Amino acid sequence: MVDPKILETFPNPAPGRDYVIEHTHHEFTSLCPMTGHPDFADITVRYVPDKVCVELKSLKLYFHAFRNEGSFFEAVTNTICDDLGRVMKPRSLTIVSRWKARGGFTSTVTAEWNAKAIRAKRPR
C-alpha cells in the first residue's frame, strides 16, 4: 500500500483566487493484480487549490511508489484522488488516468473530488 505521507505541500501563493493547476506524469507504472505484468499510464492531476498546493518532487515519489503495487486501474485512480484530496483539501480535484494498450484495449479512468460535496456527505 502506498503511503500518502510521501506527499508534501506548500502554501497557495494566491488563496483568494480560483485558478487551475494541471500536472501530467508520463511515467506512471503499477502492476496488474491478475498477471503481475506492468501497466503504464499518463496521470493528470487537475485542481483548484485552497490553502495549499502539492509539491512536485513529492508527487513524483508518490507516483513511483505504485511501481510494485498490484492494483486495478480504477483503484489506482481513486486512491490517488482520495490521497491528494485528503492531503490538499482542494476546492476541486480531478484525476485522469490514461492507460496504455493491453490486450488491444486502452482505458481512461476519471475520479473527482469536490470539497463542498465531500463536506455535505458527512454524517451530522
Give me the active site residues, please. Answer: 32, 39
Per DSSP bridges, beta strands 21-31 and 38-48 are: antiparallel
Beta bridge mates, 107: 99
Distance of CA 51 to CAs 23, 58, 88, 94, Å? 18, 18, 8, 17
Is residue 56 annotated as involved in ligand binding?
Answer: yes
CA distance 51 to 4: 18
Q: How far apart are CA 124 and CA 19, in angstroms?
A: 31
- Residue 54, annotated ligand binder? yes
Q: Is 10 helix (H, G, I), strand (E, B) or coil?
A: strand
* Residue 59 among known ligand-binding residues: no
**Known binding residues:** 54-56
Binding site for substrate, by residue number, is 54-56
